[in-house]
């Protein structure tokens, strides 16, 4: 017998038929003797509609009331799934974030989890009860107000709850059947990974892979919660709960016997480049540029500095997300007097391609081979950043798919 947390996203609970399909997935695990908690998202499209309601009433709305509205989507799903389970003869009850309680910070719309009391759920397990929990939400203890965890918050809820109840595994059911070496829509030869280390998955999620939310991976790594990504569209009756199911296990690297040099290729088209030209090369210039950006809560990614031949001036190039581009450009322009640059060059037709793998730690020349392969295909590299287990390249957007396919083949990731 194992203790499982099962999480189902919006597409998995999009309508009554799919909610009943989820109930059969849960029943399969209960019938196998497992203790089960289920975390659910709002039905597909429900949160977007609730957000629209808020914006239609007031563009600048109160964030605490916004949370009270958008959290209701998960409340509906949790109640419906509990009813569906009861009709199958399974004792179940719904839980809202505030009832457990799942305590958070008071940053409405993007709250962070502070503490979870897993005791009520564990007490329910002892009675054979399935807990159906509304994801994405919690409560701020001091104010007593409902909070929401931001984009992908149900993943975060599920992993945090798995840690709180000491679950053997947290199964993330989604519309794909695992984590792939890259996006199969771009590289048809991409293959599903059986296992991937937390660090690798964290890099892939933060660099463009859409399968998992970054904060949920961070929580899994911190609390060593084994996370299993699997498809909710597999027929429940076709899966043997006593055998390893199809999917990808995200786990500590000690569970992976042999590491490939490269595990996967991630990419993001959501990038913009800003170059601050002819800045005086002296102490404090970088702070004058990046300080205002930090104050504006704009995250900067890749940074490249080039000093002129005479050593008197420098060019600083950096990237931000496309969503932050206009704000970042405006912030730099407003700080022009303090920075003292000659001009600002920008580009929005750029993409970031990243190569990830723990095996890079013990292999030299991994990045160099990529540079050669891309040069042979006529792909120009605008900027490069590296870390212990990944390197990222900024290129023109037009070459994104060519670069991803080239690197995927170069590192032997194509299906055999």
Q: Dihedral sign, CA of 385, 389, 390, 391?
A: positive
- CB neighbour list of residue 294: distance below 8 Å, 6 or more residues apart: none
Q: How many CB atoms lie within 10 A of CB 334?
A: 12
pLDDT digit string, tens, across residues 197-225: 999 999 998 887 777 888 899 999 999 99
Half-sphere exposure of 210 (CA within 13 A, CB side): 10
Residues 192 and 322 in one domain: no
- Same domain, yes or no, for 265 and 375? yes
The total number of structural domains that make up the chain: 2
Domain boundary among 254, 270, 290: 254
Rounded distance between C-alpha atoms, residue 198 and residue 201, angstroms: 5
Residue 300, marked binder: no
Q: Does one domain contain both 218 and 159? A: yes
Residues 243 and 264 in one domain: no
Q: Is 350 annotated as a binding residue?
A: no
234 vs 258 pLDDT, higher one: 234
pLDDT on residue 326:
94
210 is in an annotated binding site: yes
Of 204, 221, 254, which residue sits at a domain end? 254
Judge whether 45 is annotated as a binding position: no
Per-residue confidence (pLDDT) for residue 98, from 0 to 100: 94
Is residue 290 located within the same domain as residue 181?
Answer: no
Averaged pLDDT for residues 401-407: 97
Structural domain for 365, as ranges: 258-415
Q: Is it the case that residue 293 has pLDDT exceeding 90?
A: yes
Please tell me whether residues 93 and 236 are part of one structural domain.
yes
Strand bridging mode 130-134 / 381-386: unpaired
Buried b (16+ CB within 10 A) or exposed e, 278-300: ebeeeeebeebbbebbeeeebeb
**End-of-domain residue from the set 254, 278, 301:** 254
Q: Are 345 and 382 in contact (CB under 8 A)?
A: no
| Cα–Cα dist 295/293, whole Å | 5
Residue 8 annotated as binding site: yes
Regarding whether 101 and 182 lie in a shared domain, the answer is: yes
Structure-token pair, residue 383: 């900027």
Judged against a pLDDT cut of 80, whether residue 258 lies above it is answered with no
Same domain, 236 and 329: no
Give the tokens for residue 224: 């060593």
Q: Output the pLDDT for position 410.
A: 95
**52 belongs to an annotated ligand binding site:** no
CB of 413 within 8 A of CB of 190? yes
Taking residues 69-97, report their average pLDDT: 97
pLDDT at 16: 97
How many Cβ atoms are within 10 Å of 49's Cβ, its own excluded?
Answer: 12
Helices (H), 32-113: 46-57, 63-70, 72-87
Percentage of the chain with pLDDT > 70?
Answer: 100
Of 319, 310, 320, 306, nearest to 277 (Cα)? 306
Confirm or deny that 198 is annotated as ligand binding. Answer: no
Are 242 and 178 found together in one domain?
A: yes
* CATH assignment at residue 209: 3.40.1160.10
Q: Which of 98-107, 211-220, 307-316 has the lowest mean pLDDT?
A: 307-316
The answer to whether 203 is a known ligand-binding residue is no
| 285 or 30, greater pLDDT | 30
211 assigned ligand-binding residue: yes
Cross-strand bridge partners of residue 130: 92
Taking residues 281-287, report their average pLDDT. 89
Q: What percent of the chain has pLDDT over 90?
A: 78
- 304 and 180 share one domain: no
Average pLDDT over residues 232-246: 83
47 is in an annotated binding site: yes
Quick check: 86 and 125 in contact, CB under 8 A? Answer: no
Alpha-carbon span 183 to 320, nearest angstrom: 22
Split at pLDDT 50, 70, 90, the class of 416 is: low
Residue 232 is predicted with a pLDDT of: 86
CATH number at residue 281: 3.30.2130.10
Write down the mean pLDDT value for the chain.
Answer: 92
Q: Is 305 found in the same domain as 169?
A: no
Is pLDDT above 90 for 345? yes
Question: What does the alpha-carbon distance between residue 236 and residue 21 come to, in Å, rounded to a whole number?
Answer: 7
pLDDT above 70: residue 296: yes
Q: Which residue has the higher pLDDT, 213 or 138?
A: 138
Query: Mean pLDDT across the stretch 138-150?
Result: 94
C-alpha 274/C-alpha 330 separation (Å) is 11
Judge whether 235 is annotated as a binding position. Answer: no
User: 266 with 182: CB under 8 angstroms?
Assistant: yes
Residue 7 known to bind ligand: yes
The answer to whether residues 187 and 324 belong to one domain is no
């Amino acid at each position: 017998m194992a203790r499982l947390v099962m999480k189902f996203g919006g597409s998995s609970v999009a309508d009554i038929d799919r909610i009943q399909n989820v109930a059969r997935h849960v029943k399969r695990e209960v019938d196998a003797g497992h203790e089960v908690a289920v975390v659910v998202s709002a039905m597909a499209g429900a949160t977007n509609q609730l957000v629209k309601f808020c914006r239609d009433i007031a563009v600048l709305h109160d964030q605490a009331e916004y949370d009270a509205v958008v959290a209701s989507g998960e409340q509906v799903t949790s109640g419906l799934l509990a009813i569906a389970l009861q009709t199958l003869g399974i004792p179940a009850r719904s839980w809202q974030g505030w009832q457990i309680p799942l305590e958070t910070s008071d940053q409405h719309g993007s709250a962070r989890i502070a503490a979870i009391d897993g005791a009520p759920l564990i007490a329910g397990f002892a009675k054979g009860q399935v807990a159906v929990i509304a994801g994405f939400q919690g409560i701020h203890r001091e104010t007593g107000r409902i909070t929401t965890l931001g984009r992908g918050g149900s993943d975060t809820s599920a992993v945090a709850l798995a840690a709180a109840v000491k679950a053997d595994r947290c199964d993330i059911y989604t519309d794909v059947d695992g984590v792939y070496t890259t996006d199969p829509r771009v590289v048809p030869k991409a293959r599903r990974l059986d296992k991937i280390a937390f660090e690798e998955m964290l890099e892939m999620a933060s660099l463009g892979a859409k399968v998992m939310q970054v904060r949920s991976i961070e929580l899994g790594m911190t609390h060593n919660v084994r996370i299993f990504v699997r498809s909710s569209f597999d027929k429940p009756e076709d899966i043997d709960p006593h055998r390893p199911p199809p999917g990808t296990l995200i786990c500590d690297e000690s569970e992976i016997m042999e590491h490939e040099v490269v595990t996967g290729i991630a990419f993001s088209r959501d990038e913009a480049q800003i170059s601050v030209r002819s800045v005086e090369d002296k102490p404090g210039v970088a702070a004058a540029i990046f300080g205002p950006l930090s104050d504006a809560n704009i995250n900067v990614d890749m940074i490249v500095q080039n000093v002129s031949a005479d050593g008197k001036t420098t060019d600083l190039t950096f990237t931000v997300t496309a969503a932050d581009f206009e704000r970042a450009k405006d912030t730099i322009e407003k700080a022009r007097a303090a920075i003292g640059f000659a001009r600002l060059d920008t580009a929005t037709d750029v993409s970031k391609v990243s190569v990830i793998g723990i095996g890079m730690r013990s292999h030299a020349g991994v990045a160099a081979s990529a540079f050669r392969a891309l040069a042979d295909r006529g792909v120009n590299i605008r900027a490069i950043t590296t870390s212990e287990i990944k390197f990222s390249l900024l290129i023109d957007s037009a070459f994104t798919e060519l670069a991803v396919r080239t690197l995927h083949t170069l590192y032997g990731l194509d299906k055999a």
